[in-house]
Amino acid sequence: MKVQRLVVKVGSSSLTQEDGQLSRVKLGRLVDQLSELRNEWDCDVVLVSSGAVAAGLSRLGWNRASITLPEKQAAAAVGQSYLIETYRDLFASKKLETAQLLLTRADIEDRKRFIHIRNTLETLLRHRIVPIVNENDTVAVEEIRFGDNDTLASLVGLVAEADTVVLLTDIDGLYEANPRDVPGAKRIPDVWEITEEIERMAGGQGSLVGTGGMRTKLAAAKIATNSGIDVVVASSDEAAVLRRIAAGSAVGTLFHARQDALHGKKSWLAHGTRSEGRLLLDAGAVGALLNQTASLLMPGIIAVEGEFQEGAVVELCTETGDVMAKGLVNFSAWDLRVLLGRRSTGEKMSPLQEVVHRDAMVAWKGGQA
């Protein structure tokens, strides 16, 4: 066994029939493989499963192209219960218990909730229970959505401290060009760095029943590989695909984890959070943060943008607004503006604690955190 903890994401197109209904045969094949890894290979497995909306629309007889957001969320509520019930029955036949986790982006962004999710996952895996994760579509609005389950899978991989994230889809990897449009296009077996050229190879949207395409998988792969996690994009139809990946065989496209990856809280800060405001810095502060091991101090701040409280995540920017770092701020926006006002009047400032401590900050160089 090369992999000890595996997060597997499966898309709607890999779980449904041509008419959009859930395929018990496809779900059964997936459960067979996951059960084998858990029962026979002693590999921890976490399943991130799409399909709730598709299942709900099918059962309700609604048309995806002509429904409102509340109707889509209602369909998700109907479909999720049917989806998890089907998984529960299939895993029970393999003598495995399942648990359902429905998440929103806000659950990942909040550090306390992030830790609670991690503790829950660890407890479930320690007791050989298979967690089944999906976005909580019934309450998720644009501000708290992951956007796609590929991103969700990478963030779950970060929470669970997985070795590998597998993105199962209806195509067997990343190609130099879309093989549906360009016959003879070559599959890329290994990606060591996600460059602009690699991103150009990704197509647009995915299938009719899904929400993502290869672009979302590259974005998800960036999150995971920058956090020290391998990512495999492979076809759900390939025989014994999960067993072969877990054994280290060459399957699909493998995005290799970066050797200089971030870990722990820094990884969460870089990829699991959204910024609530911005601090514009002078050239001296920018240089100190990028080229030294300095924390951000009050003298380096030029301006404050947005409204936020102490403990919020803020972007640290150059004078022209280019983002060069992100961190947890120790002062509210109101307090920082008051301090800037005092400084502008020439008031002598007593020494203050760091505005953003180095240990609570990630900086970007060459596009990498």
Handedness of CA 254, 260, 265, 268 (dihedral sign): negative
Q: What is the pLDDT along the chain (369 residues), one digit of tens a residue?
A: 578 999 999 988 899 888 778 899 999 999 999 999 999 999 999 999 999 988 898 889 888 888 888 888 899 899 999 999 999 999 999 999 999 999 988 899 888 999 999 999 999 999 999 999 998 877 765 544 566 889 999 999 999 999 999 999 888 888 887 777 788 888 899 999 888 888 887 764 444 333 347 888 998 999 999 999 999 999 999 999 999 999 888 899 999 998 888 888 888 898 888 899 999 999 999 999 988 889 999 999 999 999 999 999 999 999 999 999 999 999 999 999 999 999 888 887 777 889 999 999 998 876 666
Angle between helices 149-160 and 111-126 (to 10 degrees): 70
**Mind giving me the DSSP string for 255-320?**
EPPPTT---HHHHHHHHS---SEEEEE-HHHHHHHHHS-PPB-GGGEEEEES---TT-EEEEE-TT
Domain 5-267 grouped into CATH 3.40.190.180? no
Query: Phi and psi for 98 in degrees, rounded to 5?
Result: -120, 160
Domain boundaries, the chain: 5-267, 275-363
pTM above threshold 0.75: yes
Q: Which amino acid is at 163?
A: D
Domain 275-363, architecture per CATH: Roll (2.30)
Answer whether 187's CB lies under 8 Å from 172's CB: yes
| pLDDT score at 121 | 96
| pLDDT score at 157 | 95
* Distance from C-alpha of 363 to C-alpha of 293, rounded to nearest angstrom: 11
